[in-house]
Amino acid sequence: MTTLAQKLHPDRFTEMSPFMAAIVGYVLGETLTDPAIAEITVSESEDLVYVRKAGGVGFSGVQSLTDLRNNWNHLLDAAGLTPDERREAMRLFMARVSVVPGTGV
């Protein structure tokens, strides 16, 4: 039986960027890259994602929230997930990628 973590593992996707591999690890609660991501916070009103690497002080990266959501959905499409696995992957994403207080839409 294949688990969600196995289906989303970066080793299955030769074109996956190191940043996306770090996102997958972060969402799944696993360390898949070095450095790993320690925190992701989003400002929906600004369409921005702030990333802090493990061991880092402050946020070291800024990305588009729209791009991150699109890339996550494309990964879920490519991974061949069951409907239940897709729901779980989306639940994990929403739980781990938190909104900055006062910036939600």
Per-residue pLDDT, 102: 59
Q: Where would I find the beta strands (DSSP E) of the chain? A: 37-43, 48-53, 61-64, 98-99
Residues of the chain with pLDDT under 50: 1, 105
Domain map of the chain by residue range? 4-98
Indicate the burial class of 43 (C-beta count within 10 angstroms; 0-12, 13-18, 19 or more). middle
Per-residue pLDDT, 6: 94
- Helix orientation angle between 65-78 and 18-28, rounded to the nearest 10 degrees: 80
The answer to whether 23 and 72 are in contact (CB under 8 A) is yes
